Amino acid sequence: MTLEIDLSVQLFHQTFRNPVIPAVGPNVGSGAMLRRAAEGGAGGLLAKTISRVAAPVPHPNMVRLGKDSLLNTELWSELPPEQWFSHEYGIALSAAREFNLPLIASVGYTAEDLAALGPRLEKAGADAIEFSIHYLDTQRLLETARALRNAVSVPIIAKLSSHAGDLGELAQVLDPYVDGFTCINSFGPTLMIDIERGESPLGSKFGYGWLSGPAVKPLAVRSVFEVARVTDKPVIGVGGVSSGADVIEFFMAGASLVGVCTAAILKGPTIYGKIAEETGQWLQDHGYHSLDDIKGLYLNRYRQGQPVVTAVEQSARVDENRCKACGQCEKVCQFGALRAPLKEIARVDASKCAACGLCVSVCPFDALQLHPRET
């Protein structure tokens, strides 16, 4: 029997039609881009960060890393704020109302910026406002949060950066002033060198860029968990979301929405709807009716941590019915415990197995698992 899956999310006094929204970046750099995100199946809209002056963005400013990640020297919006208020927000709001989506604005970075722009964003029709701490030191965080809280009545969301320190502690400091958090911003700075030319493909002063995409996802999931452990405020998970499975992972860590940027840049705006569809399919395949059924599953189980076993009490075991004799497990075993000659079922020498678990994660056929070591 097919289950009826509810992907809607009630958050910030709004209804998101699904949990997948844009994260701030070039993918939402104008009203027209926000409309494309709505048409592509996003569950809500989030506009690119504005400040009191347009950003002096270096050129070139984006380069692909590997297959699905990016390095970028993007800043906030390169469009002046007056263009957003006179033109871009109008297009974005029209799309939001047409598709019945909430619109979140984004603003940075100083207390003066937020106090000046926050009320204008609320008046323009933003349903919530995200503010970034990306360029702020810890001493200015409270000043900035208070300035926006005192300036607007709509919900405000603090976007946290991994380089800011302990995000759990930071969330506790900001908690009295905000209605939610976003974790995380891009990671860096980093450096890529084109070894044929001896130069960086990016146009920043030293060629530095900020990393986004699947390469940062484990860091982002940990950050969501870290913040969700210490606050009841909702958390938007951002970093490497490119599939429905990624959405499920973030929700299990405690997220209430997910943001997509890099995947939308590399694969186009229809990725929002595709990810949402995959999320619903995963829930259906696993017998769940809604995201509430899996939200916080890992968070609630391991909020206080788990026992750490340092003794070698397990060893790998081969399921001979699943093993396809690919030999991959023997290649990665650092302890000489696995033998998988060509076209032969893998064998484990339990006395040498260190229970590291690498072979289990590498096997493409799920033919290896850790089991209690036999006496």
User: For residue 150, how many other CB atoms are within 10 A of its CB?
Assistant: 12
User: What confidence category does residue 133 fall into, taking pLDDT thresholds of 50, 70 and 90?
Assistant: confident
**Kindly report the CA angle at 238 between 90 and 36, in degrees rounded to 5?**
35
What is the mean predicted confidence (pLDDT) over 62-85?
A: 96
Q: Token pair of 201, please? A: 């493909």
How confident is the model at residue 245, as a pLDDT? 98
What is the mean predicted confidence (pLDDT) over 102-123?
A: 96
How confident is the model at residue 375, as a pLDDT? 61
How confident is the model at residue 148, as a pLDDT? 95
Amino acid at 38: A
User: What confidence category does residue 113 fall into, taking pLDDT thresholds of 50, 70 and 90?
Assistant: very high
Rounded Cα–Cα distance for residues 259 and 44 (Å): 10
How far, in Å, are 158, 256, 316, 330 from residue 353 at the CA level?
Answer: 46, 40, 7, 12
Return the closest-CA partner of residue 44 out of 313, 260, 296: 260
Contact 99, 9 (CB under 8 A): no
Return the closest-CA partner of residue 321 out of 354, 353, 369: 369
Q: Token pair of 246, please? A: 């990624």
- Preceding omega of 80 cis (within 30 degrees of 0): no
User: What confidence category does residue 374 fall into, taking pLDDT thresholds of 50, 70 and 90?
Assistant: confident
Rounded Cα–Cα distance for residues 68 and 64 (Å): 7
Specify the CATH number of the domain 314-372: 3.30.70.20
Model's pTM, two decimal places?
Answer: 0.95
* DSSP designation for 42: -
Rg (CA), the chain: 23
pLDDT tens-digit map of 17-44: 999 999 999 999 999 999 999 999 999 9
Residue matched to tokens 């993007």 = 74
How confident is the model at residue 9, as a pLDDT? 97
pLDDT tens-digit map of 142-195: 889 999 999 999 999 999 998 888 899 999 999 999 999 999 999 999 999 999
How far, in Å, are 72, 138, 299 from residue 173 at the CA level?
Answer: 30, 10, 21
Rounded Cα–Cα distance for residues 213 and 200 (Å): 19
SS3 16: strand
Q: What would be the CATH architecture of the domain defined by 9-302?
A: Alpha-Beta Barrel (3.20)
Domain ranges of the chain: 9-302, 314-372
Q: Token pair of 244, please? A: 């429905």
What is the mean predicted confidence (pLDDT) over 325-342?
A: 94
